[in-house]
Amino acid sequence: MKLTALGCSGGIGGAQARTTSFLVDDDILLDCGTGVGDLPLDALVRIDHVFLTHAHLDHVAALPLLVDSVGEMRSRSLIVHATPETIRILRSHIFNWLIWPDFSVIPDRDYPFLRFQPMKVGEAARVGARTITALPAQHTVPAVAYCLDSGAGQLVFSGDTAYCPELIAAINACPALRHLIVETAFADEQYGLAVASRHLCPSMLLAMLDELSVSPQVHISHLKPGADERIMAQLEAGAPHLRPQRLQQGQVLTF
């Protein structure tokens, strides 16, 4: 499998600040932030599945525009996989005919442009030979992480999360883990804000990494613009042996 970072920033402001979205091979999106808008139209048409970690705007902003842009060009529905709670939020607050049309009934209920597929923690979805499993996460809204399994290797994406023992246990249960993409949104001096918003700061992430029994390459995402260099400096000072690397827009990970 191949994962391309379309967006991995915790905010906007410049050509290299696109919010969370990853292209898996050429037919799956992992989250649907502003980075999706950089894909050409023919690439957008090829996307058949979207797996959402949660319903916050920086992770779903491009979804309404995506289905509107390609719906009539596709021969089958775009499938959006998410927890029942995330689907409820999307139906209530985005696809509600007020913010955006309800594409789950357009052009009709039998053959809509968009279908929602509920997915619970621990549940796995098969897409061809690939398996994507929802893992626990802790955020201010219902959220999940994901494990992507090619059969030859695994990748875990934390989504947005606080320190989460259940997620640590799930990561340790991935014996073929090659890559861990994990958020670190705030610097350590913003510890209180990280706790309140259920995000990670360097000291929290380092405590989490110390509990891992697996040894993946660690890629840091969701850095807040303006604090990114300070966050990475704190991570590098606290865990030189783990060598966490800043994930870059356009970076490709294979597994």
134-191 pLDDT, tens per residue? 999 999 999 999 999 999 999 999 999 999 999 999 999 999 999 999 999 999 999 9
Closest alpha carbon to 108 in 145, 67, 77, 139 = 77
| Sole residue written with tokens 């997915």 | 119
| Sole residue written with tokens 């021969």 | 75
CATH topology for the 2-254 domain: Metallo-beta-lactamase; Chain A (3.60.15)
CA distance 67 to 77: 9
- Identify the pLDDT of residue 82: 98
The per-residue pLDDT of the chain, averaged, comes to: 97
Q: For the chain, give every domain's residue range.
A: 2-254
- Identify the pLDDT of residue 239: 75
Cβ count near 152 (within 10 Å): 11
Q: Is residue 242 over pLDDT 80?
A: no
CA distances from 162 to 7, 85, 146, 203 (A): 20, 19, 15, 12
